[in-house]
Amino acid sequence: MDKDNAPIPAIAESYDVSDDELTYTFHLRDANWDNGTPVTADDFVFAWEETVHNPAAEYAYLYTQDGACVEGADEIVYDEKTDGKLSIKAVDDKTFEVNLNNSSKPTNGRKHL
């Protein structure tokens, strides 16, 4: 966060927020893993899904109503719905879309997505 409490994009070059503040679309900057392979939106989908589906993941709750309110996270983390899916997707290699729960309230916590 900057001095005005506005988010500073890291791996995201920029992002868009829908009018209802429930869909965040991240436009990823060019970056590579240690082995030279490009970082893609599919990497984020994989990592987020793996985190919420891992019972030992200490920070899985950050995707739930107790954090970012990602749609589908509560059912996976709290209700242990093993076949559940987060409402996230790789639009293309450089675009990652996240849908939030429609009952969530806008908070500054969302700025940490």
pLDDT: which is higher, 105 or 46: 46
Q: How far apart are CA 31 and CA 1, in angstroms?
A: 21
- The side-by-side arrangement of strands in the sheet containing 12-17 is 12-17, 23-28, 95-99, 88-92
Tell me the pLDDT tens digit for each residue of 43-69: 999 999 999 999 899 999 999 999 899
Please spell the DSSP secondary structure of 74-104, one letter per residue: HHHHTS--TT---SEEEEETTEEEEEB-TT-
Give me the percent of the chain exceeding a pLDDT of 70.
90
Query: Rounded mean pLDDT of 107-113?
Result: 51
